């Protein structure tokens, strides 16, 4: 049987397959000394052994759910409690994995322009991940969307073609246009290397993130 190895998040797999240029200067993150203690609430890492997920020395079987709007709720102080309440309810129902949006490619979102990220919105994503850890729920981060909601691929096509509309274009250019591809790779790198402002963990080292 193969020896257990850490489950590398899908974010890392994307980056490893990419020839990534250094991203442009982004929002400055707070000094680590101003953050909470690292690993205050840390989940056991999920690993892969002989084709099976394992956690804590046992096979890891899970019930998962999709909740796209957690980032939206976390960035609104009056609605942030919904994040904790949702994860608490899910944990009580025996759910241990959540898929959620880790993107919002709009002027009022997370990535407001190519390589330019809103720090307050990034902190909201930090909060979602920290809350997931506190409630024993691993998180799968979706980094882009085919549909125009929250920007998604349409925003990348507009950015890389310097267009204000995709009316005469195909969203499939996201896959084909080298400039679009590089913009997305830079986004992946930015998310991977983000340090959580609530617990100090770097995303690509955080066992909360399943993929």
pLDDT single digits (tens) 67-103: 999 999 999 999 999 999 999 999 999 999 999 999 9
Q: What is the pTM of this model?
A: 0.81
170 Cβ contact list (under 8 Å, min separation 6): 157
Confidence of residue 40 (pLDDT cuts 50, 70, 90): low
pLDDT of residue 6: 44
Q: Determine the pLDDT at residue 120.
A: 97
**Averaged over 62-66, what is the pLDDT?**
96
- Element spanning 190, H or E: helix 178-192
């Amino acid at each position: 049987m193969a020896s257990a190895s850490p489950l590398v998040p899908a974010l890392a797999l994307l980056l490893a397959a990419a020839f990534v240029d250094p991203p442009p200067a982004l929002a400055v993150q707070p000094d680590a000394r101003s953050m909470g203690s690292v690993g205050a609430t840390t989940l056991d890492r999920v690993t892969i052994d002989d084709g099976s997920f394992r956690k804590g020395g046992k096979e890891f079987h899970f019930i998962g759910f999709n909740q796209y709007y957690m980032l939206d709720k976390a960035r609104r102080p009056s609605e942030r409690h919904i994040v904790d309440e949702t994860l608490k309810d899910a944990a009580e129902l025996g759910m241990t994995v959540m898929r959620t949006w880790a993107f919002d490619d709009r002027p009022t979102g997370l990535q407001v322009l190519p390589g330019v990220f809103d720090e307050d919105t990034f902190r909201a994503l930090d909060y979602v991940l920290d809350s997931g850890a506190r409630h024993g729920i691993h998180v799968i981060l979706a980094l882009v969307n085919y549909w125009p909601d929250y920007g998604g691929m349409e925003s990348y096509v507009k950015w890389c073609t310097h267009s204000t509309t995709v009316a005469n274009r195909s969203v499939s250019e996201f896959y084909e246009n080298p400039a679009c591809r590089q913009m997305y790779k830079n986004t992946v790198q930015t998310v991977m290397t983000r340090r959580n402002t609530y617990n100090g963990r770097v995303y690509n080292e955080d066992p909360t993130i399943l993929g």
